[in-house]
Amino acid sequence: MDPEQMLSRAPHSPMAGTGWLYGWRLTFGGDDIGWEGALATVVEDPSSRVFVVLYDVTHEDESSMDRWEGAEMGIHRKLRVRVDINGSEPALAWLYVLDAYEGGLPSARYLGVMADAAEKAGAPAEYVRWIRTREARNVGPGTSFG
């Protein structure tokens, strides 16, 4: 969601809007493959929704994103989903879903980055607060992040 991060990973792909992914929930998994804890992903859940940011991704940037997300190594799978764009017709989009078991705790730093990005994108304050107050793994001083 973070515009600066997307600019570095997909420099030719402008932000196209925000919306909600209904029938899915934000969760974490892949504790064994994350550098500092579990990684964000979504799973189907009919009673939930996830705030999303849409980008108009070029073919060149899609290949770059695939590499960043480890799609070629099987870390993430790419799915097509319908996103509700603030009351308009749903848009067809793709997203990456972690190919790992759900569970594990993300780091507090990771949750902070996610919450900051959601806030920058215009997510409702209650949603941002929900991300910020999730249970997290505290990573101690001196920990290297790569």
* Domain boundary assignment for the chain: 3-132
Q: Quickly state the pLDDT bin for 109 (edges 50, 70, 90).
A: very high
Helix and strand numbers (H, E) in the chain are: 4, 4
pLDDT surpasses 80 at 38 = yes
Q: Which residues have CB under 8 Å from 90's CB, separation 6+? A: 82, 83, 84
Is 138 or 41 the better-scoring residue by pLDDT?
A: 41
DSSP-derived letter for residue 98 is E
Q: Quickly state the pLDDT bin for 47 (edges 50, 70, 90).
A: very high
pLDDT surpasses 50 at 142 = no
119 in catalytic set: no
Q: Spot the catalytic one: 4, 36, 60, 69.
A: 69
| Average pLDDT value for the chain | 87
Confirm whether residue 110 is marked as ligand binding.
Answer: yes
Query: Nearest-5° angle of CA 44, CA 40, CA 91?
Result: 55
Mean pLDDT of 64-73: 79
Mean pLDDT of 79-88: 86
* CA–CA separation, 79 and 97 (whole Å): 7
Given its phi and psi angles, is residue 54 left (phi above 0), alpha (psi -120 to 50 degrees) or beta? beta
Whole-number pLDDT of residue 89: 79
Q: Quickly state the pLDDT bin for 67 (edges 50, 70, 90).
A: confident
Superfamily of domain 3-132: Gamma-glutamyl cyclotransferase-like (3.10.490.10)
